[in-house]
């Protein structure tokens, strides 16, 4: 069996991944708060953990992996959006949840095995909170229930911060009813016009952190294999999850491995509305950027490194995928290449896996006379392990027939060779290249391929 190594944030080292139960490998990833479209940064962890999900299914079998990703559908941001728009909360969360699934599906992300909504597990949260109060890890104060950070001696271990450091560096909600400034909310009162549920502490709603602790316990048990998310969640969200869960289930390990992806930038800068470089996945899709291209760009950077989205990378990804899809158009997928699997098993080295695919494509293209049925099948199977070149993500590269233009260019070339007047040939070649067409001329003839920055509109009137 393939040996997988993953960088465990909890130990700050790369470790051999050995599942608790190989018959049921379990992974929980923090999902979105559904009040708006997912921006590009939101999509990075989806793609990262989709690749891990595919790898685990490849190694242990699809029926032996359980992947859970939640939806937070009760939150201050959702309530604020409802108040601003006048749209009922359930309509907002229903629409935005489907938007999220559609947009992530366009990136080739498989849907997790379980996608619980926070509002479906309020009773489980109340039960967990009652247990924390009974064991002295939480307390009620003025309709709120708060977790007592001082009651958990290892608080801050995941992020490597002391409580004093966290108080100094965090936006801590100051409240007179808190025993400690770092104590965080498990339950809070709900206003009459806000969503709320009955509880032993009055009508209210859960704090953000308790949601994931309750849902992961109900669906994966008190100890499971992998917990993932962006590194912006490490503190306070994941730190608080650990404290709650380990105190609620003393002696349990909660998550064995913690994986965190780095953040996303745009053209070397932090994505923000003030800089005008903020956009959603839907924005890119509407602009005609294929989801497969977005996915390819993401995979080009290791998940633990900051990822820089650039127009150049987008163009290069599109050109590469056009070539690969054309190259493997007649292929049937076979087992993935061992080097590609090994790269992914080495802490999800997606960039290394792509490098191997580039080498395979180069070898196949360099030997057109060879029967490459097997090589093409292995390359296609390898790409699909990465979620690329799937039938579901195909179709965006069709509708471009350059054969007529290729014949016209071949005729001009023949005339130019006879008359020694290359003006018309050079002019047409320049027009093609300006439209992003890769022009290949050899003794065998002329071949035109959509390349970097291909724009079919620039070919209008050219024949």
* 257-311 pLDDT, tens digit each: 999 999 999 999 888 888 888 899 999 999 999 999 999 999 999 999 999 999 9
Using CB atoms within 10 Å of the CB of residue 18, give its burial: 0 to 12 exposed, 13 to 18 middle, 19+ buried.
Answer: exposed
Q: Are strands 264-266 and 254-261 parallel, antiparallel or unpaired?
A: unpaired
- Contact criterion met (CB below 8 Å) for 73 and 97: yes
Least confident of 126-140, 250-264, 342-356, 425-439: 425-439
Residue 106: HSE in the Cβ half-sphere, 13 Å Cα cutoff: 22
Res 407: pLDDT: 86
In angstroms, the CA 109 to CA 291 distance is: 10
pLDDT over 70 at 169, yes or no: no
| 142 annotated as ligand-binding | no
| 241 annotated as ligand-binding | yes
**For 321-326, what is the mean pLDDT?**
92
Res 176: pLDDT: 82
Res 154: pLDDT: 93
Average pLDDT along the chain: 92
Res 275: pLDDT: 82
Res 401: pLDDT: 65
DSSP secondary structure of 120-160: GGHHHHHHHHHHHHHTTSEEEETTEEEE-GGG-TTTTTTTT
- H or E element in which residue 447 lies: strand 445-450
Residue 45's contacts (CB-CB under 8 Å, 6 or more residues apart) are 29, 30, 228, 229, 230, 261
pTM above 0.85, yes or no: yes
**For 414-424, what is the mean pLDDT?**
89
Look-up of token digits 């859960």? 206
Res 391: pLDDT: 93
In this structure, the number of other CB atoms found within 10 A of the CB of residue 232 comes to 14
Using CB atoms within 10 Å of the CB of residue 168, give its burial: 0 to 12 exposed, 13 to 18 middle, 19+ buried.
Answer: exposed
Locate the DSSP E strands across 262-394: 264-266, 269-270, 307-309
**Which tens digit of pLDDT belongs to each residue from 195-237?**
999 999 999 999 999 999 999 999 999 999 999 999 999 999 9
| 63 annotated as ligand-binding | no
| Reduced DSSP (H G I as helix, E B as strand, rest coil) percent helix, strand, coil of the chain, to 5 | 45, 15, 35
pLDDT over 70 at 163, yes or no: no
| 358 annotated as ligand-binding | no
| 212 annotated as ligand-binding | yes
CB burial string 308-322: b at 16+ within 10 A, e below = bbeeebbbbbbbbbb
Res 463: pLDDT: 67
């Amino acid at each position: 069996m393939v040996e997988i190594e993953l960088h465990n944030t909890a130990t700050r080292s790369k470790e051999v991944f050995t599942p608790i139960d190989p018959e049921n490998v379990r992974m929980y990833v923090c999902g979105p708060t559904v009040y708006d479209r997912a921006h590009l940064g939101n999509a990075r962890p989806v793609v990262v953990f989709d690749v891990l999900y595919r790898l685990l299914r490849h190694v242990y079998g699809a029926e032996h992996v359980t992947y859970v990703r939640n939806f937070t559908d009760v939150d201050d941001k959702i309530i604020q959006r409802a108040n601003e728009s006048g749209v009922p909360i359930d309509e907002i969360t229903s629409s935005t949840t489907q938007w999220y699934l559609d947009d992530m599906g366009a990136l080739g992300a498989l849907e997790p095995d379980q996608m619980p909504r926070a509002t479906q597990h309020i009773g489980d949260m109340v039960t967990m909170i009652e247990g924390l109060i009974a064991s002295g890890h939480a307390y009620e104060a003025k309709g709120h229930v708060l977790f007592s950070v001082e009651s958990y001696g290892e608080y801050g271990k995941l992020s490597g911060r002391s409580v004093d450091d966290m108080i100094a560096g965090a936006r801590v909600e100051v409240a007179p009813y808190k025993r400690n400034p770092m104590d965080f909310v498990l339950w809070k009162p709900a206003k009459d016009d806000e969503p709320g549920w009955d509880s032993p502490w009055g009508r209210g709603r859960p704090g953000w952190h308790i949601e994931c602790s309750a849902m992961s316990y109900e669906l994966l048990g008190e100890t499971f294999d992998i917990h993932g998310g962006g590194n912006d969640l490490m503190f306070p969200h994941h730190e608080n999850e650990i404290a709650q869960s380990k105190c609620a289930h003393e002696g349990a390990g909660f998550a064995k491995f913690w994986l965190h992806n780095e953040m996303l930038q745009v053209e070397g800068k932090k994505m923000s509305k003030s800089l005008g470089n903020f956009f959603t996945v839907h924005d890119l899709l509407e602009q005609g950027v294929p989801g497969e291209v977005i996915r390819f760009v993401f995979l080009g950077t290791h998940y633990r490194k900051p990822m820089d989205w650039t127009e150049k990378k987008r163009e290069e990804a599109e050109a590469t995928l056009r070539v690969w899809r054309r190259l493997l158009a007649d292929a049937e997928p076979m087992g993935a290449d061992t080097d590609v699997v090994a790269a992914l098993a080495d802490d999800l080295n997606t960039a290394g896996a792509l490098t191997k695919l580039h080498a395979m494509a180069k070898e196949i293209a360099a030997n057109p006379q060879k029967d490459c049925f097997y090589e093409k099948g292995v390359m296609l199977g390898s790409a699909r392990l990465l979620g690329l070149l799937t039938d579901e993500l195909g179709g965006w590269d069709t509708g471009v027939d350059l054969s007529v233009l290729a014949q016209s260019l071949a005729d001009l070339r023949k005339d130019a060779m006879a008359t020694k007047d290359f003006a018309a040939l050079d002019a047409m070649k320049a027009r093609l290249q300006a439209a992003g067409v890769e022009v290949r001329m050899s003794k065998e003839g002329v071949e035109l391929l959509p390349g970097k920055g291909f724009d079919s509109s620039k070919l209008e009137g050219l024949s």
